[in-house]
Structure 1
């Protein structure tokens, strides 16, 4: 034991004298290879802040080239976007694809500009439509704002509820959503209130899209206090002619007084998807008139890098129903 301790102590002496951690002695090439085994999010948000040398390695183009090419992106994709491989990875897998996650209306003066805005490389395209979402203090029932979200065709707004929806800020008889406490929520009534949102991928590489990269979909939902409700999400995946190729369904989720976050990975769908339609629906189970149904907000949709756990533990989706 004494010999072992002595040998161990002598092995540590050079490190203690140099006042260095063993990893600080690693060549940059070796450290870069180690980073390739880590999730990009961990490299960008943790490793890059350890020290200057780790930051330099975390920005190495060969590291981000490896990440991109391991997720189906190619050199031709990198050329479309200035900033190199790291900028390409962030542009594809970083942003929320949803145009307005908390249902903010678009100001009247900005509607024309929003409609005519052309998306840049790897940016999703969103429609600007009359949303037919009201608020409870509207003077006129036919007053509606413009938004990226719209009430599903056939739904009608009624003061007593029905299948209409309203925008609430702050939420009525419900605590604010913990992820976005200052943002609006959508409240439903005694029948299914439905909203839908179009997201187009016209500026994305078709070769990349045809690999059917998974989506990560999350949403926060809660019931009005004392009025249990139901919540449901559908994702329609469509081709370049807007024909529906696959429909994903979350199933019916039970809403409680406390806010819950639904998380899904949507994968193994047919190739050829060029746009998606996100559909949200909620209702109360008590049948009360008025907007006592499920509330929801903070809708996130991301492309998922399949070979890395970027978002921690996320439940896998139910099977697809191919049309």
Structure 2
């Protein structure tokens, strides 16, 4: 029986020039099912950046759709259309791994970094500590508006965030937006999110009517959620804008409070 090696030893020996001559013909041939199982237990970036460069056999396994399909299955990344899988399972896998919040500074921990102030009415925008605990205990700051309309925005360039034009047009991943808001007194809350083409034409838009929150709902955090889907090819940007004001016109910051804003691309089926 030949000598047994761990997956780390296999990678090290096969990628070390000084050790290549030490492999005999029996050791060079690893059954494909065993090799695939070893790769499935290695970090994905190591499979792509190291293992596939070792030899043709390793490259074939690392590049195979069956390998990445199995990796997706084991990690719970399921295609939305079960009858039609992705044309590129490796790309699908890594795009699922990239899922994250694309909004910069969503809680105001960095003051207004990343945001463009559009309207700064009354005494303007401010960042403060939450008056009431947020459902997410990590949230320790929020934005707050004043007695005249305050709005701010972010424009997300999807290609700069790593989502290529080819990926967006083929996969058309769901785009999920969410925003947490709470009143301090009688308040207005506004939100508008648009999917844009390269020339900034609107593909789809979510702009509900102004939400009016009475004082009796003071300190109650609510979440606005919307999911864009079936929007077709051509989406290159996401434009996010929100804000509001208080309706009693008190000096200071008694308007709507906003935090934990999120825009994320969701290629896989949520389970």
Q: Which residue of the partner structure matches residue 98 of structure 1? A: 103
Q: Which residue of the partner structure matches residue 78 of structure 1? A: 90
Residues of 2 paired with 1:73 and 1:239: CA distance? 23
197, 206, 220: which one pairs with 2:180? 220
Pairing 1:150–2:116 present: yes
Counterpart mapping for 1:93-242 below 5 A: 94-105=99-110, 131=112, 147-152=113-118, 155-156=119-120, 160-161=122-123, 164-168=124-128, 170-171=129-130, 174-180=131-137, 182-202=139-159, 203-210=162-169, 211-224=171-184, 227-242=185-200
Deviations 1:98-123 (A, max 9, x none): 122212328xxxxxxxxxxxxxxxxx
Are the equivalent residues in 2 in contact too, given 1:103–1:149 (CA < 8 A)?
A: no
Counterpart mapping for 1:12-27 below 5 A: none
Deviations 1:274-322 (A, max 9, x none): 011110112112222221100010011122346x344xxxxxxxxxxxx
Pairing 1:252–2:214 present: no
Are the equivalent residues in 2 in contact too, given 1:64–1:89 (CA < 8 A)?
A: no
Pairing 1:291–2:246 present: no
Are the equivalent residues in 1 in contact too, given 2:139–2:260 (CA < 8 A)?
A: no
Residues of 1 paired with 2:93 and 2:174: CA distance? 20
Q: 1:69 to 1:247 in 2, by over 3 A?
A: closer
- Aligned length, in residue pairs: 192
Q: 1:302 to 1:179 in 2, by over 3 A?
A: same
Q: Which residue of the partner structure matches residue 315 of structure 1? A: none
Q: 1:156 to 1:294 in 2, by over 3 A?
A: closer
Are the equivalent residues in 2 in contact too, given 1:180–1:298 (CA < 8 A)?
A: no
Q: 1:217 to 1:180 in 2, by over 3 A?
A: farther
Which structure carries more relative contact order (alpha carbon 8 Å, separation 6+)? 2
Residues of 1 paired with 2:224 and 2:135: CA distance? 14
Q: Which residue of the partner structure matches residue 26 of structure 1? A: none
* RMSD between superposed Cα atoms in Å: 2.7
TM-score (norm 2): 0.61
The DSSP-based 3-state class of the residue aligned with 1:207 is: helix
Give the deviation of 1:270 after TM superposition: 4.6
Give the deviation of 1:69 after TM superposition: 5.4
The DSSP-based 3-state class of the residue aligned with 1:208 is: helix
| Unaligned residue ranges in structure 1 (runs of 5+) | 1-59, 80-84, 107-130, 132-146, 311-323
Q: Which residue of the partner structure matches residue 276 of structure 1? A: 238
Give the deviation of 1:193 after TM superposition: 0.8
Residues of 2 paired with 1:97 and 1:206: CA distance? 17
Are the equivalent residues in 2 in contact too, given 1:230–1:253 (CA < 8 A)?
A: yes
Give the deviation of 1:185 after TM superposition: 0.6
